[in-house]
Amino acid sequence: MKIVGGIYGGRRLAVPKNRDIRPTTDKVRGAVFNMLASRDCIDGAVVLDAFCGTGALGLEALSRGAAQCTFMDKHRTSLDLARENVNALGVQDAQFISGDATKKLFTSDQKFSLVFLDPPYHRGLVRGTIDHLITAQILSSDAWIVCETERGAQGYVPDGFSLEQEKTYGEITVRILSSIAD
């Protein structure tokens, strides 16, 4: 697995030794970032990579011009792997939060403009996570949310957001949501 584009393009990432973490493939990550680049929402973004696993989505965003990224996971193994990849690339603009994105209380004054949600499949975690992020008021007024789920999972578009694109790649469905400007 490697970074697909940007300043770290081509650099390899550490991957899990077992199947506990399911990284987004290079092909799907490349397609997602092409969709985001066409919407001009990466450059300067403040990113939350929830359920970060290897950290590949957040690192890809940083590679392509995001200002900073917070990597979050409730599993120490995942957070350690993301930290290993951040350190291997020499990334400076990264923070790490140990916790469950569906209920972790955030205490940041900073608002996230780009959020990646790639939770474990078949657990229905996307809706609760999005609702929690909205309730916690940590999304910017122009936020984008990228949701990766198993094929066939019901999509969720909360009030104040619109579904910009939905695409299925084999057994994976990606949905891109954007906040609706007032």
Helix, coil or strand: residue 33: helix
Confidence of residue 103 (pLDDT cuts 50, 70, 90): confident
For the ranges 19-28, 82-91, 136-145, the lowest mean pLDDT is seen at 19-28
Q: Which CATH number fits domain 26-179: 3.40.190.10, 1.10.468.10, 3.40.50.150, 3.10.310.70?
A: 3.40.50.150
pLDDT of residue 101: 87
pLDDT of residue 42: 97
Closest C-alpha to 77, from 17, 119, 154: 17
Helix, coil or strand: residue 37: helix
Q: What are phi and psi for residue 149, nearest 5 degrees?
A: -135, 175
- pLDDT tens digits for 114-139? 999 999 888 889 999 999 999 988 99
Closest C-alpha to 50, from 178, 122, 146: 146
Domain ranges of the chain: 26-179
- pLDDT tens digits for 30-89? 999 999 999 999 999 999 999 999 999 999 999 999 999 999 999 999 999 999 999 999
pLDDT of residue 108: 64
Cβ contact 2:61 at 8 Å:
no
Confidence of residue 179 (pLDDT cuts 50, 70, 90): very high
Average predicted confidence (pLDDT) for the chain: 91
In sign, the C-alpha dihedral spanning 116, 173, 121, 57 is negative
* pTM of the predicted protein model: 0.93
Q: Give CA–CA dist 153/10, Å, rounded.
A: 32
Q: Give CA–CA dist 76/71, Å, rounded.
A: 12
pLDDT above 90 coverage of the chain, percent:
71
pLDDT of residue 180: 87
